[in-house]
């Protein structure tokens, strides 16, 4: 086999390999898009949450996040839209938001627990009213 034939053969292999990589890339992108959509759909479904369960879980949150806003440097989490609340906790859980205390807390929460907390705090005003069923 002469040099030109070898180079041509190697070049053909490189072309086939590049085609293979392109195929994998397209497939991976489509798969990732499907997975992202499934996660989004699951997130929306899980936001149909149990507010009473959220009330049960909320005591740890209220240790730092006071309903009256008197905690210096710690934001109020009352009366937030459910999706915003849940998105924030999931971002802490994934390490996309930086706060070691919140990352630790969020890492222990399931999607069901996050949704329940979101439902509970979404209905609570800054005076602590509206979160429990007794107030309604």
pLDDT along the chain (136 residues), means of 10: 72 76 65 64 58 90 82 86 94 95 96 93 76 46
Q: Are 121 and 108 in contact (CB under 8 A)?
A: no
DSSP 67: T
Comparing CA positions, the residue from 91, 83, 69 lying closest to residue 118 is 83
Q: Which fold has domain 49-135?
A: Cytochrome Bc1 Complex; Chain D, domain 2 (1.10.760)
Torsional sign, CA 95, 101, 106, 109: positive
Cα angle 125, 94, 102; round to 5: 45
For residue 110, what are its two tokens? 């399931």
The pLDDT of residue 133: 46
For residue 77, what are its two tokens? 């989490």
């Amino acid at each position: 086999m002469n040099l030109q034939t070898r180079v041509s053969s190697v070049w053909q292999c490189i072309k086939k390999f590049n085609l293979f990589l392109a195929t994998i890339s397209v497939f991976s992108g489509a798969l990732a898009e499907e997975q992202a959509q499934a996660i989004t759909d699951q997130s929306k479904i899980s936001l149909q949450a149990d507010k009473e369960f959220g009330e049960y879980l909320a005591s740890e949150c209220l240790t730092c996040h006071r309903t009256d806003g008197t905690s210096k440097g710690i934001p109020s989490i009352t009366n937030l839209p459910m999706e915003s609340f849940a998105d924030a906790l999931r971002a802490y859980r994934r390490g996309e938001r930086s706060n070691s205390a919140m990352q630790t807390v969020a890492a222990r929460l399931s999607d069901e627990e996050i949704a329940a907390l979101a439902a509970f705090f979404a209905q609570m005003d800054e005076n602590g009213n509206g979160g429990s069923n007794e107030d309604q």
